[in-house]
Amino acid sequence: AQRVTQPEKLLSVFKGAPVELKCNYSYSGSPELFWYVQYSRQRLQLLLRHISRESIKGFTADLNKGETSFHLKKPFAQEEDSAMYYCALSANAGKSTFGDGTTLTVKP
């Protein structure tokens, strides 16, 4: 069985502060991990995927297989980063499992 855990329902930081959204997973194979974001009144959309090793909007995420984690990080948070963030795991044939999300609020 595959599971994704996001331990923080709510996270609040000040503008310019570093931010880390935690994600832990359980899966017996080699997973693909993703972060999706939902801004206010917008659709859920892909932010980044571990296989691309890219930085999107200043966010990065490293897959740590030893700790089974895929934490999302940004060194300097901006107010426009305020949104709901979902970590997701994709197994063979594309079946995806989402975490319950973390609401990030960046205060001015």
Partner 1 sequence: EAEVAQSPRYKITEKSQAVAFWCDPISGHATLYWYRQILGQGPELLVQFQDESVVDDSQLPKDRFSAERLKGVDSTLKIQPAELGDSAMYLCASSLVATRSYNEQFFGPGTRLTVL
Say how far apart CA 67 and CA 61 lie, in whole Å. Answer: 14
* Residues 106 and 15 sit within 8 Å (Cβ to Cβ): yes
Select from 63, 74, 99, 106 the one that contacts partner 1 (CB under 8 A).
99
Nearer to partner 1, 12 or 45 (CB): 45
What is the number of alpha carbons within 13 Å of residue 46 lying toward its C-beta? 11
Tell me which residues in 71-90 interact with partner 1 (CB under 8 A): 86, 88, 90
Q: Which is nearer to partner 1, 15 or 44 (CB)?
A: 44
Q: How far is the CB of 34 from partner 1 (least distance, A)?
A: 8
Token representation of residue 79: 């107010």
Binders of partner 1 among residues 7 to 66 (CB under 8 A) are 9, 32, 34, 43-46, 49, 51
# binding residues, partner 1 (CB under 8 A): 23
Cβ proximity of 25 and 34 under 8 Å: no
Residues 6+ apart with CB under 8 A from 5: 23, 24, 25, 26, 99
| Contacts to partner 1 by CB under 8 A | 4, 9, 32, 34, 43-46, 49, 51, 86, 88, 90, 92-101
